[in-house]
Amino acid sequence: MLAIASIQSPAFAGAVTAVPKIMPTMMARGKVVAAPEFCYGLPGGKNILGEFDPAGFTKGKSQPEVYRYREAELTHGRVSMLASLGFIIQEKFHPLFSGDGGPAIQQIPQLPPWLWLVLTVGIGAAEFTRIRKGWAPLDDTGKAETALRDGYQPGDLAFDPLGLAPEDPEEFALMQEKELSHCRLAMIAASGFLAQEAVSGQTWGTWWGDASF
């Protein structure tokens, strides 16, 4: 949650093309057989956990499949960063709607119908833009391997209205690593907020002793 500021991080602004390292792994008839870099060179392998994939989601997967997984991870992570920020702020600052409080899940049915229309149009426009930029038409098989356009880097929506993207490639790659870490933390945080409210029936602020929430 402390990483909300990275919502506008450079991965929105364009991706640095990763150059996979050639790592010799075994000998076959006198020749060195190279193994692909972790996640085919995508950000995510240069953190305190290293090449973190305990469930083996990327093991044996092709590059297009891994890219598709990363696209989904970044999308969910960015939404989770917004959600985590929303959980904290809107329970204290709500100028447009009632401040009666209570768990968010209980307030959903109270939303005015016009807001549902706004949400639907807004989410639809965002998804349409993302699909138009990065997704290729599916072939007859409809396989995930063909879902992203050739040359498209996961999460590269060219969205950087504040101009936060560093021009130095190394700094840019570091910011991509940070964004991915923040996305993962935010997904855990948002899930925690929802689970805590569902179990306790109280907002996070009230649960921690602040009656003003």
132 is in an annotated binding site: no
Cβ–Cβ < 8 Å for 207, 213: no
- Is 68 among the annotated ligand-binding positions? no
Does residue 107 have a known ligand-binding role? no
149 is in an annotated binding site: no
- On whether 51 is known to bind a ligand per the annotation, the reply is no
Neighbouring residues of 196: CB distance < 8 A, sequence distance ≥ 6 = 204, 207
- CA 190-145-13 angle, 5° bins: 55
What is the dihedral sign for C-alpha 26, 60, 44, 138? positive
Distance (Å, rounded) from C-alpha 152 to C-alpha 15?
9
184 is in an annotated binding site: yes
Query: How many Cα atoms sit within 13 Å of 10 on the Cβ side?
Result: 18
Query: Is 73 annotated as a binding-site member?
Result: yes
The annotated binding site for chlorophyll b is made up of 78
**Binding-site sequence positions:** 73, 76, 78, 178-179, 184, 196
- Binding residue numbers for chlorophyll a: 73, 76, 178-179, 184, 196
